[in-house]
C-alpha cells in the first residue's frame, strides 16, 4: 500500500486551544484522522509527523524518499521563511501539496511569501478543515495519474 506523509510544522500542535476564529476549533489529531480516513478510502495509508523544529521536518522529507509516495505539508510559519525546507522538498520526486487552514494571501504581508510554492505541485489554502481532505484527494489523483 502506498503511503502519504503528512507533515505539520511549528505551533500546529496547539490547534484547538487558541485562535479558533483563524484556524477553527478542531485539534491537529482530528485533522489527521480525517485525512487518514480519506486516504484509506482511496487505498492509501497516511503517516503524520508534527514538529516545532525545522531540521526534524527536513529530515522527515529526506527519509520520505524511501518510504512515501506523496507528501502533504502544512509547514506553519516556516512556509514563509524556510528556503531549506523548500530545497528538501525539491529533492522528493513524488506528488507534493502545500496546505494551509487559513488563507495566508489574505493576511499579513509576511505571509504572502511561500518558500514552498516553487517546489510543490499545488497549494490549498483557506478551506479550513476541508483542506486536509482535499489535499489527500489531490495527492491520490496525482498518484493515479502517474
Element (H, E) at 38: helix 28-41
| Gap between the Cα atoms of 96 and 121, Å rounded | 5
Contact characters 96-135, ligand CA2, x per CB under 6 A? ----xxx-x------x------------------------
Q: Which of 23, 80, 112, 132 is catalytic?
A: 23
**Residue 48 Ramachandran class (φ > 0 left, ψ -120 to 50 alpha, else beta):** beta
User: With respect to ligand CA2, which residue has the nearer C-beta, 12 or 89?
Assistant: 12
User: With respect to ligand CA2, which residue has the nearer C-beta, 45 or 107?
Assistant: 107
130-144 vs 28-41: helix axis angle to the nearest 10? Answer: 30
| Annotation says 100 is catalytic | yes
Smallest gap from Cβ 16 to ligand CA2, in A, equals: 7
Return the residue of 77, 84, 129, 142 that touches ligand CA2, per CB under 6 A. Answer: 77
Smallest gap from Cβ 143 to ligand CA2, in A, equals: 23
Smallest gap from Cβ 103 to ligand CA2, in A, equals: 7
In the structure grid, which three cell numbers stand for residue 101, read together? 487552514
| Gap between the Cα atoms of 92 and 88, Å rounded | 7
Count other C-beta atoms under 10 Å from residue 23's C-beta: 21
> Which residues in this chain contact ligand CA2 in the complex, by CB under 6 A?
11-12, 14-15, 17-19, 23, 74, 76-77, 79, 100-102, 104, 111
Amino acid at each position: 500500500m502506498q503511503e502519504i506523509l503528512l507533515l505539520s510544522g511549528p505551533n500546529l500542535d496547539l490547534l484547538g486551544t487558541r485562535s479558533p476564529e483563524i484556524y477553527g476549533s478542531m485539534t491537529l489529531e482530528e485533522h489527521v484522522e480525517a485525512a487518514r480516513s480519506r486516504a484509506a478510502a482511496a487505498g492509501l495509508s497516511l503517516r503524520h509527523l508534527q514538529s516545532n523544529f525545522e531540521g526534524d521536518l527536513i529530515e522527515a522529507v529526506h527519509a520520505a524518499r524511501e518510504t512515501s509516495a506523496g507528501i502533504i505539508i502544512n509547514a506553519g510559519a516556516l512556509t514563509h521563511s524556510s528556503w531549506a525546507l523548500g530545497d528538501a522538498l525539491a529533492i522528493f520526486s513524488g506528488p507534493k501539496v502545500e496546505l494551509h487552514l487559513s488563507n495566508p494571501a489574505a493576511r499579513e504581508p509576511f505571509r504572502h511569501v511561500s518558500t514552498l510554492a516553487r517546489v510543490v505541485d499545488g497549494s490549498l489554502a483557506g478551506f479550513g478543515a476541508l483542506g486536509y481532505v482535499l489535499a489527500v484527494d489531490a495527492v491520490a489523483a496525482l498518484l493515479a495519474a502517474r
